[in-house]
Structure 1
Amino acid sequence: MQLLLTACLTWALLHTAESLRCHRCADQACSNTTSVDCPATSTACRTATSVMQTGSTISSTVVKSCSSLLNCTTPLTVETELSVNRGFSREAHTQLCCATDNCNFQTLAVPSTSVNGKHCPSCSSLADSLAGSCSAALSCAGVENSCFNGTTPSGSTQASLLGCMSRNLCFNLAAQASLLGSDARITCKAPWSVRVSAALLTFGLTACKVLV
């Protein structure tokens, strides 16, 4: 009896649970994937399609991999689109994290780059951001439905952060840190639309006529 108990305890101590299996891109274009055993620290599978835009240059990538829950930054099994747009640069991701074997097989849609009629203040260049002299207006794109403003450390000064973002980033500190840097501090506010801007312009012109 004691020998059996010892054997059971030994098996329990030596036995390791089977690791999660996830799809991983086999090439840079992710045209093919392989199923791999994830390390013990990876408890989720991730698939993400991303768009990076700098000036007029736009590139898209697809990533499928093992991931920790911390690096996912989005709820499990919920396809989520995140986007942050600083005017001179934009980063958008469609992402899905899940926790069953090979659940990240699908390739998600490319985030939209089409303008959506909303506008926010922004910096026209990185130099303006670093100097804190930002006075540009930015047309939001895709799922960007909130304005943001704040600062991030840059050497001995604070660079300005202004632009459009998807509202789901406003309270997702982990995703904010991933996209804007861990030391960024921002607040969100409602964007303005072309219709609202036109109404304000009309009001201003009318007021001027009355005063004149």
Structure 2
Amino acid sequence: MKFLLSLGIIWTLLNTAEALDCLMCRDFPQCEDTFSGNCSSDELCATAAIRLQQMGSSLLINTKSCVPPSLCDVGNGTFSGSLGFMRVVGSVRCCDTDNCNSQTLPIPADQESNGFECYSCDSSTCRHKIQCVGVEDRCFNGNVTHWNTWAPTVHVFGCASSNLCVAFSHLSSASLPGFDLNGPNCCEGKLCN
């Protein structure tokens, strides 16, 4: 009996997940000042470099943080998405040792049109065709609602990379500061959204 109890205790100790310490940003958007913070026991460390382009201007974002493993299912590499009037492209790297996210990734270069098309929304309809670029090989649709009750729900349609769709599938519904996001749902095939 003592032998079984000892095995049980050893098994429990060996299988207890220990939380990682990951680097996190004190400043936004460049993440030049970091600190080591404790993550939940079910999170990994990540570093990302993101370019947000909207109407001719760009915002470059570097970030380091703890993330759920489901968001690391996208793999280490480039992700991209476009709404027509706005595009986000980035690179991400996840890792699973203390403070392993110290590197700063390069911002991905501008991507070329790849011949794939999806629908996007303008002020009156969601049947505006847009050209997808680079790794964007899926179409998506979803809804964004502003927390102010007077603001209407906005439909969002566009292009996305397959790995961004994997991340979307783990969100299904999410809150961003000031907004609720329902979907997005991805599909394969030109203009399938």
What is the TM-score when the length of structure 2 is the normalising length?
0.67
Equivalence for 1:161? 156
Equivalence for 1:190? 189
Report the Cα distance in structure 1 between the residues aligned to 2:111 and 2:100, rounded to whole angstroms.
Answer: 30
Instruction: Pick the structure with greater CA Rg.
Output: 1
Equivalence for 1:174? 170
Runs of 4+ in structure 1 off by over 6 angstroms are: 155-158
CA 1:61–1:158 in structure 2 vs 1: closer, same or farther (change >3 Å)?
closer
Matching residue within 95, 99, 116 for 1:98: 95
Report the Cα distance in structure 2 between the residues aligned to 1:134 and 1:184, rounded to whole angstroms.
Answer: 16
Matching residue within 137, 160, 170 for 2:129: 137
Structure (1 or 2) with the greater helix fraction: 1
Counterparts in 2 of 1:1-212, with a 5 A limit? 19-28=19-28, 29-34=30-35, 36-40=36-40, 43-65=43-65, 67-69=66-68, 73-75=71-73, 78-123=75-120, 125=122, 127-128=123-124, 133-148=125-140, 150-152=141-143, 154=145, 159-172=154-167, 173-174=169-170, 177=173, 182-191=181-190
Unaligned runs of 5+ in 1: 1-8, 10-15, 193-212
Report the Cα distance in structure 2 between the residues aligned to 1:144 and 1:170, rounded to whole angstroms.
Answer: 10
Deviations 1:63-86 (A, max 9, x none): 012x1425x61239x413222211
Report the Cα distance in structure 2 between the residues aligned to 1:166 and 1:145, rounded to whole angstroms.
Answer: 5
CA 1:63–1:182 in structure 2 vs 1: closer, same or farther (change >3 Å)?
same
Amino acid at match of 1:169: L
Amino acid at match of 2:185: I
Q: CA RMSD in A?
A: 3.6
Amino acid at match of 2:50: S
Amino acid at match of 1:45: C
Structure 1 stretch displaced more, 78-87 or 22-31: 22-31
Q: Number of residue pairs matched?
A: 170
Q: Secondary structure at the match of 1:145?
A: strand
Report the Cα distance in structure 2 between the residues aligned to 1:17 and 1:79, rounded to whole angstroms.
Answer: 23
CA 1:24–1:114 in structure 2 vs 1: closer, same or farther (change >3 Å)?
same
1:124 shift after superposition: 5.4
Structure 1 stretch displaced more, 166-175 or 154-163: 154-163
Equivalence for 1:195? none
Structure (1 or 2) with the greater strand fraction: 2
1:182 shift after superposition: 4.3
Report the Cα distance in structure 2 between the residues aligned to 1:40 and 1:88, rounded to whole angstroms.
Answer: 36
